[in-house]
């Protein structure tokens, strides 16, 4: 990425009529939450893809809960970083219209974004595997196998597992936002998980420009209008200067 690319990203953001952000695990990596794919994304000998499924939970709920308690602990101690804060400042300024996220850490809301579409649920909620019980949590459950206070069935994290459908309302809203967007800031996602990964492609098809922020090549490399080959925090600090957003307000 050259200074000209940063200037071009800044110009696209400044001149946008309807800017949206599409984010993935990479935007939270510098908040200390590991990503799934790419370096540093491993947990023990298991692959997340083998743990984050309804079948894995049926087979070994204890193991799945152990993994989720560990992820919940990371998420509960994490704080928004300058990249989350940049998006909050852009929304405050009326430039950014919505954040569509695949993340389950809630860091966009904690940073101050109000218009957040969470496609994959939240690690700060649990739900019953049987009845309609759902609850916000402030810490990971202490029990090995937490149970529903209403019906006694197993509780599970309120996240979308591989093979499960995405929440319908959120998915519809996300595609609606993508159809309105003229610029999409794609930050920290491999784009590998569909249908979420299709959202930037759909926006592009409708005429939007894509700014792709990622230290590694991903699904949008070669399609994006600006390729920012760097970490989310470095990008946030650089574009903040171009946009005249005080770097201090990202601290
Ligand atoms: P992913 O793990 O597939 O990809 C992460 C991407 O982030 C990679 O392309 C990687 O190159 C990039 N990246 C790594 N460090 C970065 C940095 N400092 N700045 C910018 N980008 C960086 O993640 P995904 O695309 O979000 O999809 C995986 C699924 O995993 C999602 O459905 C999500 O629900 C879940 N997940 C969420 C969290 C979270 O909530 N923080 C963490 C891990 C996984
Ligand atoms: Zn129940």
Instruction: Spell out the domain ranges in the chain.
Output: 1-32+80-120+166-251, 34-77+122-159
Q: Check if 1-32+80-120+166-251 and 34-77+122-159 are the same fold.
A: no
* CATH class as words, domain 34-77+122-159: alpha beta
Strands, sheet with 134-136, edge to edge from the N-terminal-most edge strand? 134-136, 121-128, 155-159
The predicted pLDDT at position 1 comes to: 62
Q: What is the pLDDT of residues 47-80, one digit of tens each?
A: 777 889 999 999 999 999 999 999 999 999 999 9
Ligand 1 shell residues, CB under 6 Å? 24-26, 28-30, 33, 35-38, 41, 102-105, 120, 188-190, 192-193, 213-216, 218, 231-232
Whole-angstrom distance, CA of residue 219 vs CA of residue 231? 16
* CATH class as words, domain 1-32+80-120+166-251: alpha beta
φ/ψ of 217, rounded to 5, equals -65, 150
pLDDT exceeds cutoff 80 at 39: no
Q: What is the pLDDT of residues 109-131, one digit of tens each?
A: 999 999 999 999 999 999 999 99
Q: What is the position in ligand 1's atom list of the atom closest to the CA of 218?
A: 9
Is the CB of residue 97 less than 8 Å from the CB of residue 77?
no
| Residues near 45 by beta carbon (within 8 Å), at least 6 away in sequence | none
Is the CB of residue 183 less than 8 Å from the CB of residue 211?
yes
Sign of CA dihedral 233, 236, 242, 245: negative
* Active-site residue, 84 included: no
């Amino acid at each position: 990425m050259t200074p000209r690319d940063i200037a071009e990203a800044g110009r696209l953001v400044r001149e946008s009529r309807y800017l949206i952000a599409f984010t993935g695990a990479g935007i939270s990596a510098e908040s200390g939450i590991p990503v799934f794919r790419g370096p540093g994304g491993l947990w023990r000998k298991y692959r997340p893809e083998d743990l984050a499924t309804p079948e894995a939970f049926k087979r070994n709920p204890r193991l799945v809960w152990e993994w989720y308690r560990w992820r919940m602990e990371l998420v509960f101690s994490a704080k928004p970083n300058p990249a989350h804060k940049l998006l909050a400042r852009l929304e405050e300024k009326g430039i950014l219209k919505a954040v569509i996220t695949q993340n389950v850490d809630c860091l966009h809301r904690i940073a101050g974004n109000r218009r957040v579409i969470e496609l994959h649920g939240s690690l700060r909620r649990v739900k019953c595997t049987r009845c309609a019980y759902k609850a916000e949590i402030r810490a990971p459950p202490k029990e090995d196998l937490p149970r529903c206070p209403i019906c006694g069935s197993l509780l599970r994290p309120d996240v979308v597992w591989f093979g499960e459908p995405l929440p319908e309302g959120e998915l519809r809203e996300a595609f609606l936002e993508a159809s309105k967007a003229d610029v999409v800031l794609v930050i920290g996602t491999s784009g590998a998980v569909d249908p979420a990964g299709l959202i930037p492609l759909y926006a592009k098809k409708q005429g939007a420009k894509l700014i792709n922020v990622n230290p590694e090549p991903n699904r949008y490399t070669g399609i994006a209008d600006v390729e920012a080959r760097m970490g989310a925090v470095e990008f946030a600090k650089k574009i903040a200067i171009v946009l005249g957003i005080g770097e201090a307000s990202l601290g």
